[in-house]
Every structure is written in C-alpha cells, then in structure tokens.
Structure 1
Amino acid sequence: MIGRRGPAASPGPLDPTSTSRDHDAALAMRRTARRVLICRLAGLGSGLVAGLAVFNGPGSWLGMGAALAAPTFAGCLLAGVLVGEVVAARPSGTTRTAVLEVRDVRSYLPPPLTGWVVAAVLGLAGLLTVTSIVGSPDDQGRPGRSLVLACADQRTAAGPWPGVYYSLPIGLSVLGGLLAALAVIWMVIRRPRPGPDPAVRAADDHVRRQSVRAVLSACGVLAAAPLAGVAIIAAGRLASLAAQSCSPAWLPAAGWASLALGVASLAAVCGFGRALLLPERAAPAAVPADRRTTR
C-alpha cells in the first residue's frame, strides 16, 4: 500500500524573549567592536603625534627625545586600547544570560608575534646591560655617555654612547610600558561578553584577538625601536674606536655585529607596524536569531 505523504512539518515558533535577547547581543557586539576600533585608532594617531613631538625635542635633551619617542608612542596606543575596553558596550537589559567558561590568555596570543616581541625585549635588555657596563662618564661627568679606549700612552673617547645616561630612562620606560600592556591584556580577557549566542561569541573573540594583537604590536615597537637606535649608535662609536692603532682585534667585529642587530631591529619595527595597521581576516559577522532561516 502506498500512502500519500503529508505536508512537511514546519518549525515551531521562536521564543520571542530569546530572539530579542540574541538581537540585542548582536547589536551590543557591533557597538563594542566599533568603540574598541575608534579608541584604538585614536591612540594610534595620538601616539604618532606625541612620539614625533618627543623625538624632535630641544637640543638640551641631548638625544633623550629620540630615546623616548618609541615608549611615548606605545604608551599612547596602549592608553587607546585601554579606553576602548573601558567604554566598550556591556550587556544590557533586565534579563542577562551568561556562559560558564574559562578564558585562557594563551588562546588570544598569536604565537609568532608573541615570540618576536619576547625576542625584542630580551635583545634590548641584553644590549642595554652591555652598553651600561662598558660606558664611562663624559667630559661633563654624565654617567655612561662616553666609550673610552685606553691604550698605553693615550685615551680615546667616543660619544655619545648609549650607557647608563640613556639606558636607565629607556629601560624604565619600556618596563612601565610592558606592565601597562599586561594590565590592558588582562582587561581585554576579562571584559564581559555581549551575549551567549555562538555567533556573537565568535565575533567577540575576534575583537579580543585584535585588541591583544594591537597591544603586542605596540610592545614590539616599544622594544624594537630603542633596540635599533641603541645598536646603530653603538656600531658607529665602535667603528670610530676601531680605527685607532691600538684597538683590539675583536672591536671591528663587534661593530659590525651591532650594526646587523640594528638593521634587523629596524626590520622588526616595520613588521610590528604592519601587524598593527593590517588587521587579521575578520570573523564571520554575528547574525541575529530572528534573521536566520530554518530548513
């Protein structure tokens, strides 16, 4: 016996409360992404202006402006990301839902970028330690601002040298920037979600990763830019002393190594800038539940 197939069952009606809640969460996610992006771009723009202003400081600063330009830029960018997280849209409404989850900071850290930032920080710390140890006071008694080559019958000095006079402010500013970056990343991870809908959560995770990526890129510039400047200046001073007849045989090699480190650091600055200005591919947009079709 062949029976006639009845009409296909139609999906049941959606819960109006759930539909409205998902729609509000999607709108909140869009507001969050927009505010975070605006504040980040504002921090980037103000950082460029402030960094250039510090870089072009008066001559009485003795080059300190160039040493602190990168930390100034990174600090403004971090402040922009921080403000974006503070003013980001929070869940609204009388009824709120939440998903029990454990957010691990490692899931938001891009491994290659994180590794390069760590390498830049360690490289800067190592180079500043060496330049501080070998530096000598200049003719005005400023500590570590001169590099002295002592021979049997003469002493030759080259400066300015990136010793304690420069390395201490650079080190403290970079350390302060890194601590601020950790605080910003903590706020990014701890920010409440706009809603429990899976599409909204995916978009929210993308916004968080973009914020963490911006913070890491700022930290990369924070460390790599001073590293490039210190290495190139040190290479020039080592080359001037290597021309002396009594210079040790390893001095020219040290100068070339320092120059290579400076060039590599400049390339790293460009890479961090690219990561900062070119965002990752956007995640699929959050679709409110009332606009989905059921088959």
Structure 2
Amino acid sequence: MHDTGTNTSTRTRARTHTHVTPPLPPVVPPETAARARVDLYARWSGLAAGAAAAWAVATRDDGLGIGILYAIPAFGLCAVAGVLLGDALTPPPRGPVRSAGLTPRRARDYVPPRTTRLLAAQALALITLLVAAAAMAAPDDQGRAGRSLSATCQGMTETVGPWPGLFYGAPVLASLAIGTAACAWSLRRIARRPSEEQPRRDRALAITAAWGLLISTPLLGTTTFATGALLGLDCMGASGAAWFLIPVALSAASTMTWSLTTIVSPRAGRR
C-alpha cells in the first residue's frame, strides 16, 4: 500500500516552494567606473614601466652586480609613480555640496593599521640592515669601497661579495626617501580633499601598497644578497647571521606579493 497522504504532502510542498532570486549587484555610475579605469590603467602603466626600467638597468650590468640591485629601486619608484599618477588623474566625485564635521581628517585614519605597522617595521629593518652592511663592508680587489665583506677566521682572511654596502645601498636609501616623501604627501592630499569615505580609503590603501612595494622589494634583494655573502664565509657566526635573515626575506616576499596584488587588483587588498 502507498501512503497517499505523505505523497500529497510532498507534492504540496514542492508546489509551494518558491525560487529566491539573489539580489542584483549595485549599479556603478558610468563616471565612477571611468575614474576607476583611469586609476587602474595608471597603476598598470607604472608596473609596466618599472619592469621595463628594471630590465634595462639589469641588462647593463658590468659584472659588479650593479644591474640587479639598481633595478630593484628603479622598479619600486616606477610603481609608486604609477599609483600617484592614477591618484592625480582621478578627480574627486562631483555632486551636491555636503556638510562635514569640524574634526580634521588625518592620513593615518585611512591607512590599514596592521599593514602600516608591518611596513614601518620592515622599513626600519631595511635601514638598519643597510647601515650595518655599510659599517661592515670592505673594498673589493679593485679598491671599490663598500662592495665586499671581509672576515678573519682562524687566522685566515676571507672576502666575499657582492655585499650590500653603500656601493649598492646608497641608491636604495635614496629611492626609499624619495618614495616615502611622495607617498606621505599623497596620503595627506587624499585625506584633505573632498571625496566619499570608501573611495578615500581605497586610494589610501593603494598608496600604502605602493609604499610597501618600495620597501619590500629592496628588503628582499638586500637580505638575499647579504645571506648569500654570509653563507659564503667559513665562519660559524656568519652562517648564524645568515639564517637569521631568512625570516626577514620571507616576510618581505609576502609583503611584496600583497603589494603587487593590491596595486593590480584593488579589491583583493582590502582588509
């Protein structure tokens, strides 16, 4: 025998089931979409110009290792320039005049706090590493200062290179100073000019990512070259210092990946 009551109830529930249509995504105004495209194209242009500049510098290497290390700050500066260009070419949204509070807006209110603290720590680590490397550097066999590392172990003197002394570190420090000043100025401009809150935070995030690329890229290169030089020495203490730099290099690689992802795809970097 069939339970007709159960079948009838099942058919009734099937007939009364309604399909819920998911809500449609919000419609983006054409003007807003155009501004976003201009900004994104400028960022991509900066990355492309940075890659071209880095390749041009790297291929001019004369055997001193200058090419690859000088290519790193060249790429970072071009990436920062692309983000700043996108911000400059994107006008604030036009609309009715709105009232605002009397509390002045500050740039630090719009940057991601945890990421900014991490970048500040990495910037300090980069400066500390370059200063320490400059203090430990020695001339190479051609007398060029700040290019090699020399150590005496068990009565024998070893010299290895390339070493990130001032011969390599000076352009990195110069690009970091220039890029940091430009990013700070841009963040201040973003905080003070008229705009909606979310676009202001998105643009501040892009500037933060550009600064992160300017820091993490040379930090990764510097730690990599320094680790290779230290592992080339037979001194046990030098090898220990090299292993200490590996977590710094991994942290820089992670930050560089996030920075690139945020610049290329703004939504991916939101916290």
**What range describes the TM-score normalised by the shorter chain of this pair?**
0.7 to 0.9
The amino acid that maps onto 1:134 is M
- The separation in 2 between residues aligned to 1:166 and 1:132, in whole angstroms, is 9
Q: Output aligned runs, 1:1-295, within 5 Å.
A: 29-54=32-57, 56-60=58-62, 62-89=64-91, 97-101=97-101, 102-151=104-153, 153-193=155-195, 201=196, 205-242=197-234, 247=235, 249-280=236-267
Identity %: 31
- For residue 24 of structure 2, what is the aligned residue in structure 1? none
Instruction: Please report how far the alpha carbon of residue 135 of structure 1 lies from its aligned counterpart in structure 2 after TM superposition.
Output: 0.7
- The separation in 2 between residues aligned to 1:137 and 1:183, in whole angstroms, is 38
Deviation string for 1:160-192 (max 9, x for gaps)? 111121111211111111111112222222333
Q: Which runs of 5+ in 1 are unaligned?
A: 1-25, 194-200, 284-295
Contact 1:206–1:282, Cα closer than 8 Å, also in 2: no
Instruction: Please report how far the alpha carbon of residue 109 of structure 1 lies from its aligned counterpart in structure 2 after TM superposition.
Output: 0.6
The amino acid that maps onto 2:203 is S
Contact 2:70–2:168, Cα closer than 8 Å, also in 1: no
Instruction: Please report how far the alpha carbon of residue 73 of structure 1 lies from its aligned counterpart in structure 2 after TM superposition.
Output: 2.4
Compared CA separation, residues 153 and 106, structure 1 to 2 (3 A): closer
Deviation string for 1:117-163 (max 9, x for gaps)? 11211110111111111111112221111111225754221111111
- The separation in 1 between residues aligned to 2:269 and 2:112, in whole angstroms, is 15
Contact 2:258–2:269, Cα closer than 8 Å, also in 1: no
Q: Which runs of 5+ in 2 are unaligned?
A: 1-28
Compared CA separation, residues 218 and 133, structure 1 to 2 (3 A): same
**After the TM superposition, which of the residue ranges 225-234 and 100-109 deviates more from structure 2?**
100-109
- The separation in 2 between residues aligned to 1:33 and 1:122, in whole angstroms, is 33
- The separation in 1 between residues aligned to 2:256 and 2:64, in whole angstroms, is 24
Deviation string for 1:64-111 (max 9, x for gaps)? 232233322232232223233333235669xx6242343222231111
The amino acid that maps onto 2:70 is L
Deviation string for 1:247-266 (max 9, x for gaps)? 3x422211221234323322
Higher relative contact order (CA 8 A, sep 6+): 1
TM-score (normalizing by structure 1): 0.71
SS of the equivalent of 2:233 reads helix
- The separation in 2 between residues aligned to 1:38 and 1:99, in whole angstroms, is 32
Instruction: Please report how far the alpha carbon of residue 61 of structure 1 lies from its aligned counterpart in structure 2 after TM superposition.
Output: 6.9
CA RMSD, Structure 1 to Structure 2 (Å): 2.7
Contact 2:219–2:249, Cα closer than 8 Å, also in 1: yes
How many aligned positions are there? 240
TM-score (normalizing by structure 2): 0.77
Contact 1:178–1:219, Cα closer than 8 Å, also in 2: yes
